[in-house]
A and B are shown apart, each in its own frame.
Chain A
């Protein structure tokens, strides 16, 4: 059969965010995958340099909508290290509780999305219904369902009352029971297993070579978990184990995620029962002394890395974000080899991609040689004006009007 090249993205029902996968098919089988990212560059890192540290927490929290606490925690940890702030133990525990609740909500969300990608909408409806339990709980603790804004330098912003602690324990009981049911579904439902097992194979060696992180790596038997390897916050005091799997495929990734949910319930029970008394926050200075720090945080999707450089003012000199999706994207092309077109959405979804978190820089590619070229903003603007002019669209008049309006 003749080869067909079809685009998946930048806009496609399987993708929740823009990214472009150009897939060459022979019949239904994939022969070649080409990936293009960068549709969602927001200039977050640069914006950080122009705001104060305190403002940056809320900006960085919005790098990702799902693992928002992961991003702000990683940033706060880095700054606390530079400023040598000793966070009270109760603050660390509450920070960890929010982080683990977020992991529940992220993994349940993933389960639903994975179900939707393989046409199993019932799983989506049920897992998202149960996810509401944890969302409500987060709203009660932090004041919002997403973007909890719990972190601040030197601790957390809101305290846990005994009532809330009891609510967390009750919610964990409900969720544990539901998760056991989903584990049953994943292990028993034949159509689900048929669609997941053997799909998107990534061998242990490939996973190591391509630097897979988080559940993607753990499903290929990479026992790496920042919570264990480089314990932060309250993790040194906790008893849990890293979930790995030897399936190396999408099925394995699903098993790792539901297995991790069970570990999370265990962690949460320990955290709430051993919650120490004392203050939740220490006073942090507005100006952070000069220095630099690298902070690692195990986000639900994998390891989140932050680098912060301070220069003694109230604004950071440099903030670098490495979202977990970026580390996993290198594996995606390998996973797609020799699979069917029908498997593309689920293979992609299996790394739990978050393209907006990943897009960090803009690079213009020369379409003929595929070589990169750096362009500054002025050149880029001129290029886009000419590009539209060539197609008969002239915005100069409109631009002038806009500038006039702004001036007046």
Chain B
């Protein structure tokens, strides 16, 4: 049966429904638990095998040895394509995915993150992140 205005009843019903859109910067969508967002590096677990460096498709990760059994990581997150292959490749759970997805910035260099080693291993549990 051909007729004009097939969607009429549907659009009129929508008038009394909640809009499907969100006012984005004010209301944010919650990402699922294991969303592949920004990669986090847990410095004290790293054993310096550099498998993540080798597997990364975008040359994001750079693991630097600073002392015996002590490694720092430099992440060029502006290049990251969030495949989370590094998380999978890591034999020691050093890397983890976070649900952080709002990474847009006007300054590209601010996405370059270096995870510094702590002077003393016992003081803090959170890695210090210095944003350049």
Contact = CB atoms under 8 A, between A and B. Distances in A.
A188 B1 CA distance: 6
Nearest to B20: A129
Nearest to B29: A136
Nearest to B99: A143
Which DSSP category, helix, strand, loop or mixed, fits chain B's interface?
loop
Contact of A54 (B11, B20, B85): B85
Interface residues of B, number: 26
Given A185-B7, A189-B6, A51 B57 contact: yes
B6 A184 contact: yes
A398 B82 CA distance: 34
B83 A149 contact: yes
A140 B32 contact: yes
Contacts of B85: 54-55, 58, 149
Interface in A252-289: none
A143 B55 contact: no
B3 A188 contact: yes
Given A51-B57, A55-B57, A139 B35 contact: yes
Interface string B86-101: 0010000000010000
A401 B61 CA distance: 28
B112 to A, nearest CB: 17
B129 interface: no
Contacts of B7: 122-123, 126, 185, 189
A144 interface: yes
Nearest to A185: B6
Sorting the interface of chain A by its residue count into under 10, 10 to 19, 20 to 34 or 35 or more gives: 20 to 34
Contact of A122 (B3, B11, B56): B11
A87 to B, nearest CB: 17
Given A55-B55, A129-B20, A144 B6 contact: no
B84 interface: yes
A134 B113 CA distance: 34
Interface in A145-159: 147, 149, 152, 157-158
B2 to A, nearest CB: 5
Contacts of B34: 143, 158
A107 interface: no
Contacts of B83: 58, 61, 147, 149
Contacts of A56: 57
A62 interface: yes
B1 A144 contact: no
A371 interface: no
Contacts of B81: 58, 62, 147
A184 B10 CA distance: 12
Contact of A143 (B2, B4, B32, B57): B32
A152 B87 CA distance: 14
A193 interface: yes
A149 B36 contact: yes
A126 B83 CA distance: 30
Contacts of A147: 81-83
A189 B4 contact: yes
Given A54-B55, A59-B57, A144 B3 contact: no
A69 to B, nearest CB: 13
A219 to B, nearest CB: 20
Interface in B8-59: 10-11, 20, 31-32, 34-36, 54-57
Contact of B57 (A58, A142, A144, A157): A58
A189 B9 CA distance: 13
A190 to B, nearest CB: 4
A258 B2 CA distance: 18
Contacts of B35: 139, 143-144
Contacts of B6: 184-185, 188-189
B36 A143 contact: yes
Contacts of B3: 188-190
Given A62-B81, A185-B7, A139 B32 contact: yes
A382 interface: no
6 contacts: A52-B55, A54-B85, A58-B81, A139-B31, A143-B84, A147-B83
Counting from the closest, the 7 A-B pairs by CB-CB distance are A55-B57, A143-B36, A189-B6, A58-B57, A58-B83, A190-B4, A140-B32
Given A139-B35, A149-B83, A190-B2, 16 more contacts: A52-B54, A52-B55, A55-B57, A56-B57, A58-B81, A58-B85, A61-B83, A126-B7, A129-B20, A143-B36, A144-B82, A149-B36, A181-B10, A188-B2, A188-B3, A189-B5
